[in-house]
Structure 1
């Protein structure tokens, strides 16, 4: 049978069907277990061995090393994973991808899946009619699984028979008898094929079929597998082109790790092949150097042994690899953004719920620690440097008695309003476009609530600032003393919130915040007795008394809101969200 254009199109169609089945299966698995996998990935990679285990587990479950790697790149971009953690996960993903090769080898070559593939399609299709998302996703997985093996069967049927097309063998033999140069050539072919089809699993299936049909010997099939390990890194590197330097470093680390593995195997190539042949015989199979039928199992064995040994050898060099990558991809300082521009919000972070939430938290913390902190301190006539210093509160208040002439409304309009609106928009997009668990949705609601509380803080601050400016310059010593107390209390409160901010969730910080709230409110409540005394003894006018009482309420709300925002952003507290909170921006009521 002559192999012409029609047969070539059949081969491409079979490959397309295989890839489609793989994609449907992988996407369904991501929907079934992806959120759990991502949560595990974000929380359980602090140890390199644990990171390898997580990479292996996730890739084994979702059946796509590319999906795992893209996930890792996205998490690095959002700051959820450090470079060393990301490298360990990628190492595990390389081992996890060997499961796919065994799946194809055992079910595609040892068992005739085509017999049950069509019934599986029917079963999966029935599940897709379910009203439950889990059953729908399960149905899609079964459909993808069945289509994958139907595609594999078509691939096997579309592969030209060497006996009927001896010219193919003659053509390949001209490139297969070049010694080690042939190994390098087929390594390059494996790399290019994987880049073109963007799936190491598809290239692996083609390689297994080529060796099973007797097109190429075991050694050249192994060379193609090595090429696939290089080609599969291109997906992550392409995704990292538009990402930050952290994501670029992760993608480069993947490439370097796989390149180092290929290099040492090439150095020991022929002894390594003999070892795999020996292992294959020991496991009850024929030698792949003798029988073409034994090559698929031997190639899967080679793929597994190579990735396990490569990980075992290089896991001890994660830090040197990280330093090499840091040198190759230097830290790029982000361009200075305008004071009214978000620093972290990026549409690319809307790919996963975890990255979207991490981005929202980072942007909200940046707003709280910079704009809100600056507005509150200046509104209370306190220099930020003095607040961060060890100078006692009384001395700071005496030192900064001059009016800092801060315009709270202008600062809100220039430094807060636009960013606040962008945070709410980003959060709403995440809630509407991503499949969120109830916990994830509640977390986004907490972040939105924290931002609304920040706006309330600024509104209360503006009201207090007006009277601080008025009575700090008036002659009534009683009013000046009361407002100095308000300033001193706020300085102490701000120090308790901003000076010990932890880099990560910290239970001790949460306890300190609760103590701070109680202590500050107790001090404020005691001062209420002093206001009553001033009114009784006629030491202040009714207008002055009204200002003090109103600002007492504002200060009470400021103390509460500052602690609440800190709890929501830094402690993931279990504060209950009241139903019916408006989703749109709460207008800042200032004249």
Structure 2
């Protein structure tokens, strides 16, 4: 039995390593292809809060990473290329855009991963132009993403026979315990997408219930704040305020989610119908993030004023210093 558990662990860890590699390389390749264009889009189409939310959603969907888009927004704010107020809408939109990944993960595409990996490898190996090689790398990593999730799912399947594992996974139905596990896993592996991918695959194998999956999903949303906070180190106050807004948005929405997890789960079951648990968790991710954005969007001007009052810009702070009398 110990050797079986060792084999399962090694296969699962191999799948996770491949997933993290695929995510990082895919994000890098997509940034090479569309990074400069993304900067231009963020600067041009974020003049109003609704447009900033839509832009954040679209760019996150294209770049396949909310962390990349939020960090990009922080960098642009720090450089003065994006007003702090506009960046708040981008942060909200990024939280909607990241739900597209969970919808894709809920499809069982791992066995068809070679359809993307083989053309990607050929492009990467044979193309003489840099853009061609970059596109090939992106296509290959996209296929590798689903193949790695397939490996994780295959590794998880035998865990049904281990009562200890089943008992531990059932404990994740406790909202605080489940959220804590999701936050810790995301903090360690630095990828909320990987956490959600594993949750969806465990649910697909019948190892995770909807309440447990929702609790871990909420924790993963909190764990992803670490990237944002790290991106603000050494930046000016406007960039720090963008990072703090992301943390504040996640903490408030996650707290509400945990308080209302019972009614929220019931709503997901009602809307999702008779779909499998993996698809229900993917739908829950979309519903939670969209609801959070709809709740916060009208509050953006208030959040801006509060953050400005708490952390005024350096130049403005200097102007407020009283001049001593001669």
Separation in 1, partners of 2:309, 2:225: 19
Q: 2:131 aligned with 1:134, yes or no?
A: yes
Partner of 2:118: 122
Give 1:307's match in structure 2, choosing from 289, 292, 310.
289
The alpha carbon displacement at 1:33 in A equals: 1.9
Q: CA deviation at 1:221?
A: 0.7
SS in 2 for 1:162: helix
1:412-561 equivalent positions in 2, closer than 5 A = none
Task: Specify the alignment match of 2:59 in structure 1.
Answer: 58
Please name the residue that 1:447 is paired with: none
> Who is 1:231 aligned against?
223
Count residues in correspondence: 316
Q: What is the CA–CA distance in structure 2 between the aligned matches of 1:203 and 1:31, rounded to whole Å?
A: 25
Structure-2 change in CA distance of 1:239 and 1:138 (3 Å): same
Q: CA deviation at 1:6?
A: 4.5
Q: Does 1:183 align with 2:180?
A: no
Distance 1:176 1:49, change over 3 A: closer
The 1:314/1:219 distance shift into structure 2, 3 A limit, reads same
Aligned with 2:212 (options 198, 205, 220): 220
Selected match of 2:166 from 149, 165, 169: 169
The 3 A distance-change label for structure 1 pair 25 and 204 is: same
Would you say 1:263 and 2:263 are equivalent positions? no
TM-score (normalizing by structure 1): 0.51
CA contact (8 A) 2:149 2:198 kept: no
Which runs of structure 2 are paired with 1:569-584 in the superposition (5 Å)?
none
Partner of 2:161: helix, strand, or coil? coil
Q: Do the aligned residues in 1 keep the contact of 2:53 with 2:93 (CA within 8 Å)?
A: yes
Contact 2:76 2:82 in 1 (8 A): yes
Q: Residue 163 and residue 43 in structure 1: after superposition, are their counterparts in 2 closer, same or farther (change >3 A)?
A: closer
State the Cα deviation string for residues 222-271 of structure 1 (Å, max 9, x = none): 01111111111210111112212111111010011111211222232211
Indicate yes or no: 2:41 matched with 1:28: no
Contact preservation (8 Å) 2:172, 2:215 = no
Larger RCO (alpha carbons 8 Å, 6+ apart): 2
User: Gaps spanning 5+ residues in structure 1: where?
Assistant: 287-293, 337-591
How far, CA to CA, are the matches of 1:185 and 1:333 in structure 2? 44
Whether the aligned pair in 2 keeps the contact of 1:98 and 1:304 (CA below 8 Å) is: yes
Deviations 1:351-397 (A, max 9, x none): xxxxxxxxxxxxxxxxxxxxxxxxxxxxxxxxxxxxxxxxxxxxxxx
Question: Compared with structure 1, are the counterparts of its residues 196 and 326 closer, same or farther at alpha carbon in structure 2 (3 Å cutoff)?
Answer: farther
Q: Residues 195 and 232 of structure 1 are in contact (CA less than 8 Å); yes or no, is this contact kept in structure 2?
A: yes
Give the structure with higher Rg (CA).
Answer: 1
Describe how 1:202-213 pairs up with structure 2 within 5 A. 202-213=194-205
CA contact (8 A) 1:161 1:213 kept: no
Residue 372 of structure 1: aligned partner: none
Once the 2 structures are TM-superposed, how far is the Cα of residue 143 of structure 1 from its aligned partner?
A: 0.7
SS in 2 for 1:229: helix
Matches within 5 A, 1:137-148: 137-148=134-145
Pair 1:323-2:305 in alignment: yes
Q: Is the 8 A contact 2:45 2:52 kept in 1?
A: yes
How far apart, in 1, do the equivalents of 2:191 and 2:86 lie? 24
Structure 2 gaps, min length 5: 319-326
Using the alignment, how far apart are the partners of 1:150 and 1:300 within structure 2? Answer: 19
C-alpha contact (below 8 Å) 2:110/2:149 kept by paired residues: no
- Supply the distance in 2 between the matched residues of 1:328 and 1:213 (Cα, whole angstroms): 48
Q: 1:61 to 1:122 in 2, by over 3 A?
A: same
CA shift, 1:131, in A, is: 2.0
User: How far apart are residue 301 of structure 1 and its match?
Assistant: 0.7
Give matches, 1:334-413, under 5 Å. none
C-alpha distance in 1 between matches for 2:160 and 2:222: 33
For residues 322 and 250 of structure 1, what CA distance do their matches in structure 2 show? 9
TM score, norm. by length of structure 2:
0.90
Determine the structure 2 residue equivalent to 1:91: 92
Tell me how far 1:17 sits from its aligned partner: 0.2
- Work out whether residues 25 and 144 of structure 1, in 8 Å CA contact, stay in contact via their aligned partners in 2: yes
Query: C-alpha displacement at 1:332, in angstroms?
Result: 4.3
Distance 1:194 1:303 in 2: 15
Inter-CA distance 203–316: structure 2 relative to 1 (3 Å threshold): same
Q: Which has the higher helix share?
A: 2
RMSD of equivalent CA atoms: 2.1
**Compared CA separation, residues 176 and 155, structure 1 to 2 (3 A):** closer
- Contact preservation (8 Å) 1:24, 1:143: no
Displacement after TM superposition at 1:104 (Å): 0.9
Return the offset for 1:212: 2.4
Shift of 1:5: 4.0
